[in-house]
Structure 1
Amino acid sequence: MKGVIFSEMIRWVEECLSPAVADRMITGANLPNEGSYTSVGSYPHQEALAMMGQLVEITGRPAHDLCHDYGYWLATRFVQLYPQMFNGYTDALTLLRDIDNKHNTEVVKLYPDARTPAIIASVDGEDLVISYASHRPFADVAWGLVHGYIAYCGQTAQYIVTRDETTPGPHAARFVINRA
């Protein structure tokens, strides 16, 4: 998994909780590199899981809530880090519909060895349905990203996002977005 996910997770904890909590998270996760990640490096996703596990212990909050919050925050960071990928989007549905066929293609151009999740967006009547599947257990982060991109477009009050709870496990999810 690309190091940008790791380095941004540490930054998120530092900004939203505290640098001390980030240090405790890194130390408790017993990482082989002691929390040093480069954005272009590749690292085992288990290290991100270890950090999140430590954050659960430190905060007492459920992992799915923390992962959602991280994803929400990460949406804004992706816009800041990769503005060229978000130029021209003012509508959340268009942005979300293009995630797989446009944005994941751009990610692979930037990082040729990246293994992006499969994201299929389809229109069902007036709803946008996003199906997410990954070999990594980050569906809760994707859930937060969906909410974060809607907020980025300034359309939080205009859309209702539901998560289809019949999709089992942390590797897959189905999100339905419709007008409020």
Structure 2
Amino acid sequence: MSLVLFSIGNPGPSNRHSTGHLMLKILLDNYSSTVKQLVPKSTYSITSNADNSLIFIKSNTYMNESAKAWNKVIATEKLPPDSIVIILYDDFENDIPSVKLSTFKKNESHNGIKNLMTVMQKETRLQCLKLGIGIGPKPVQASKATMSSWVLSPFTLEQKQIIMTQSFELCLFYLQQVAEVEGEIGDVGKFDAKVKKMWKRE
């Protein structure tokens, strides 16, 4: 089985909305002894380890055009048919340093996930899941304009440090558990709850 990590976010300065890209970079640094640097290919950048069991892909499009990057990946790259695709993204519904593994839902509120869902739900060869990295707490009773401004704002130094340590360690633990699964993950909600319980015992 291959694990495909696909990060989404906006190009440009780092902010809350590019947390997926930040986490991909931290994970890449962690695997630097076996994985080379990302190779830019127009709408996305890609690299992998020697046996293709771990593939890193970074979308180079704007968040709400994430599907364009994924379509290019599928058209260009030969991803192993038994791959599990994990989308790394900023989860504004959950607080730092929480992490949550889930499937697509009918009413996605995240523009990047909403855009990706239109193409990823058509995938028959791959299992596509979301790994949301908590960036909250979000502003209380915020308007659409306030939320838009907030997700595009940078983390404080303290928040970024927590993302780079606690959130990263939890993401890595999740990926290790997913990698140990043989075949498709069944009930993703139960799997997520199981991983959280295991993490608390660590």
TM-score normalized with structure 1 length: 0.36
TM-score normalized with structure 2 length: 0.33
Higher relative contact order (CA 8 A, sep 6+): 2
